Amino acid sequence: MLLPEPRFVDTDGARIAVYEAIPTGVPNDVCVVLCHGFPELAASWHRQLQPIADAGFHVLAPDMSGYGLSTGPEDRTAYSIAENTADVAALVRDAGFEKAVVVGHDFGGMMSWWTPYLQPEVVAGVITLNTPFGYIRNDPLEKYAELYGPDNYVAYFQTDECEALMDADVARTVRFFFRRDTGQGTNLSRSGRHDPESMAYIHWLKDDEATWPGEVVMSDEEMAFYVDAYRRSGFGGGLNWYRSIQNNWRVHNRLFPDGRIPRQSIPALLIAARHDPVCAPQLTDDLLQYFDTFERRVLDTGHWTQLEDPDGTTALIVDWLTRHF
């Protein structure tokens, strides 16, 4: 069985499915929340749950709002970092903890960077996989259109057409996204660059599957879990996180109207992926300006870090947690 049975936590606007692992002895007084990205599920952390618990931490891996067995707001633009970090804080309190280490990958990585600013009372530390800090000073939809043209994936993610395309054949969509590079890139980037062709990658979903580079990175069990989950829920909830990115921009600018972001005193770890064209390691070179205590470690993976190197990912997380907490 890939994951334990979830329990459900009602937050303001969502009912969140939470998968847990609890240590056998007295748990550390800091819990760990694992936040997945797009189009992942809590299951993307299934190989980290028990090892982190074995290290003495109560671990929570939610299906984020709108994903999997979790519900989300009816308003498709109400999935900003304000709402989603509030969900994380609610999960921490519901589990009986005052503080958590917030761990995130991909869009979940934006959650881990921003929870200390939006929910500072519940954050003891952060671990982020791959994702740059991601401060948005300008309207992201306008900026992406300016840099990458009207076919960029963020623009297409706003549309009902994209949602229908992804929902039409769920197994095919999962195979499209979750691929390992075998020499010619993946469907996230065939050139390894942030160029207009790569940033329009989602349109390759319409092409013959034989033209897709790379190989599926999931096991048969993982694939079956994802396909079953998305056949039930569809991809709309995950796409709503992208439909809310203008609200992220508004949140950022309300929080820091002068563009000056204060440094954090909590410890932070960035696990970079050497071969990730979406979140390249060099995009995280600026993180020392945001955290007094910061480490960066690099794994020899592409974008799907926990799937491509689960043992390496787990080892880095557990080592850092046990040193700091």
Residues with active-site annotation: 106, 303
> Cβ–Cβ contacts within 10 Å for residue 69, how many?
18
Q: How many helices (H) and strands (E) does the chain have?
A: 13, 10
Query: Which residues lie closer than 8 Å to 125 by C-beta, 6 or more apart?
Result: 30, 101, 102, 266, 267, 268, 269, 324, 325
CB contact at 8 A, 9 and 94:
yes
| Bridging pattern class, strands 291-299 and 179-180 | unpaired
How long a stretch of residues is the chain? Answer: 325
> Cβ–Cβ contacts within 10 Å for residue 52, how many?
25
Q: Report the phi/psi class of residue 221: left, alpha or beta, with left for phi > 0 and alpha for psi in -120 to 50.
A: alpha
CB contact at 8 A, 204 and 187:
yes
Place of tokens 């934006």: 110
CA dihedral 310, 314, 316, 319 (to 10 degrees): -160
